[in-house]
Structure 1
Amino acid sequence: MKKILLTFCFFANLASANTIDAIAVVVDKEPITTYDIKQTMKILNVPKDKALEILINEKMEKSQMRQFGIYTSELELDEAIDRMLSQNNITLNMLKENLKSKGQSYKDFRVKFKRDLEKRKLYEKIANTAKVDFSDIGAKKFFEQHQDKFSIYTEITAKMYSSKNVKSLESLRISKKTMLKANNISLNPSNTDPRLLALLSQIPIGGFSPVLNSKNGYEIYKVENKSGMQTPEFEQIKNEVLNAYVGEQRQNYIQDYFDKLHSKINIEYLR
């Protein structure tokens, strides 16, 4: 009787494990398991439908990388990391020490860096097929319609959240919920890097900045209020406007590309 009971428990546990890690969705032959979904929900603190949307987008990108033959060798990865180190004026040992202080491994960093590099390659390849307007007339019209994109605020109040765990800040940016304590800060040209002021000037009130590197880990800003807006003349920032105009056209093309792909790619919902 005991042997029968043990056998039953074994198969019950096996069935439970299979259910926990069962395939929920298949995107162009790329599986998404129930475990993947739960982990994404947990790490990013998002509901199931949002987690599934994120995972489906990742699988679509992977499918397109395969279609375009996008690949990064270890040598290419090493060279890309070396360029990044040079641009930031740091050594490999300094990077490893910084990662260690944040509880991250260099191996995991390489995996993420490679994934981001291949994603950038994919987006560039897609964007290069777009028909883009480079004219001054188009750029000036874009400037007139989006002057707020080029305005800088000289007084910005914000909440700053800091953490050594980048994922906790990424989760905050998506879910708008956190247990982290915020620091209330007031930023102006006399106490803030102009690049940070320019970045936060483009974020709507109530919105969050991207996750940024800091001396002690990472930080993210929630914009509370902005004042003292200054907008330069078109001719003063003509090149900047043209770059933004071209960039938006390319970004819209990429978004449209994946919207169309989502409607025609083979997605099977199994659970």
Structure 2
Amino acid sequence: MYKIFVFLFFSTFLSAELINGVSVVVKGEPITLYDIKEEMSILNVDAAQATDILIRKKLEEAEINERKISVSSSEVYDDIKKIASMNKMSIDEFYDVVRNSNGLTSTELKEKTKEKLLSQKLYASIAYSSLDVPGEEEIKEYYELHKEQFMHPSAFDVVIYSSQNRDALQKKRTTPLYHSDEIRIDEQTLPYDRLPPELLQMLKNTKEKSFTPIFQDTNALYTSFYLKEIQSSKETSYESVKEQIINMIMSQKREQVLGDYFARLRNNADIQIIREVKE
């Protein structure tokens, strides 16, 4: 009798804890207060926006399961390989760029790629007719209205610090007045158009008057760039970004279709708001 009482007590306690942590239930699937706060932190949005995003994700997951949509590991790899090739990089180089610029491991990148491909397949399953590819006039109009998105620096003024001693280089990064004969110093101006993609991405993600992360260069030396100044922006030509613009327009149109679909689905779905997050 005592054992039964203890079991019932802890079962009730654990159930209460679970319910207390749940904020929203979407088609029987819970969204916890922790989920919402984490989404707020990652995306820098308020509680209402984070909740809407997570509800949409739950609806998408339910729709993907109901439609039995899947993505294989080979499809994920092929997509990553294609993007790396478009950027003239090997798979390993692409993983390094993503890790340095976004902090994503290769496993996390694969998971996000899988989510993207699932979303694309879901769109193809939902859309009843294919979207029209934008014409020349629509593409040019988008370019003219969003020119600032296609600006890039003309060059980077840097000081390159390199050494066989990683500890000495790390000390230089944290203590600028530190001097060591083990560290080689070289000042250069690096034209934007001549930089390899990995280094370009690293510099674009570095603030002026600060260091890049330490990496090993082609000579196996530990290296870090101090970004002195970013030279004035340069406008990218229309032809060089035309394909990018087409993809952006098509992506916006797809999202409009999906947004309308899930707005209607949400109105009819079983969604229970248990408690709201206090900001």
Structure 1-normalised TM-score?
0.54
Q: Describe how 1:134-213 pairs up with structure 2 within 5 A.
A: 148-149=141-142, 151=144, 163=205, 187=233, 191-194=234-237
8 Å contact from structure 2 (residues 152, 236) kept in 1: no
Question: CA separation in 1, counterparts of 2:116 and 2:132?
Answer: 27
Question: 1:195 and 1:159 mapped to 2: Cα distance?
Answer: 13
Q: Which has the larger radius of gyration?
A: 2
Alpha-carbon distance, 1:248 to partner: 7.1
Distance in 1, Cα, partners of 2:147 & 2:131: 34
Give yes or no for the alignment of 1:81 onto 2:80: yes
For residue 235 of structure 2, give the secondary structure of its aligned residue in structure 1.
Answer: coil
* 1:258 equivalent in structure 2: 262
**C-alpha displacement of 1:82:** 2.1
Match of 1:117 in 2: 117
Partner of 2:212: none
Check 1:132–1:87 CA distance in 2 against 1; reply closer, same or farther (3 A cut): closer
Structure 1 contact 23–32 (Cα < 8 Å) conserved? yes
Go from structure 1 to structure 2 and tell me whether the alpha carbon gap of 1:155 and 1:132 turns closer, same or farther (over 3 Å shift): closer
> In the aligned structure 2, how far is the partner of 1:20 from the partner of 1:45?
26
Distance 2:146 2:40 in 1: 36
Partner of 2:96 in structure 1? 97
Tell me how far apart the structure 2 counterparts of residues 76 and 156 of structure 1 sit (CA, whole Å). 30
Deviations, residues 34-66 of structure 1 (Å, cap 9, x unaligned): 100011111222111111011111111111111
CA contact (8 A) 1:155 1:186 kept: no
Cα shift readout 1:11-52 (whole Å, capped 9, x = no counterpart): 9xx88x937971211112222111000111112221111110
Change (3 A) 1:82 1:131: closer
Matches of 1:18 and 1:266 in 2, distance apart? 23
More divergent stretch after superposition (21-30 vs 43-52): 21-30
Find the counterpart in structure 1 of residue 186 from structure 2.
none
Q: CA deviation at 1:259?
A: 1.6
Identity %: 27
The 1:87/1:198 distance shift into structure 2, 3 A limit, reads closer
Question: Aligned pair in 2 of structure 1 residues 66, 260: CA closer, same or farther (>3 Å)?
Answer: same
Question: Aligned in 2, Cα 1:186/1:99: closer, same or farther, shift over 3 Å?
Answer: closer
The one-letter code sitting in structure 2 at the alignment partner of 1:263 is: N
CA shift, 1:97, in A, is: 2.3
Once the two structures are TM-superposed, the CA of residue 83 in structure 1 deviates from its matched residue by 2.3
Separation in structure 2 between the aligned mates of residue 53 and residue 46 of structure 1, nearest angstrom = 11
For 2:96 and 2:67, locate their aligned partners in 1 and report how far apart those are by CA, in whole Å: 36
State the alpha-carbon separation in 2 of the partners of residues 104 and 248 from structure 1. 25
The gaps in structure 2 that reach 5 residues or longer are 1-9, 154-202, 207-228
Residue aligning to 1:210: none
SS class of match (2:48):
helix
1:88/1:254 CA distance change after superposition, 3 Å = same
Superposed CA RMSD in Å reads 4.4
Partner Cα separation in structure 1 for residue 129 and residue 140 of structure 2: 25
Aligned partners of 1:133 and 1:93: how far apart in 2?
36
Question: Residues of 1 paired with 2:265 and 2:67: CA distance?
Answer: 14
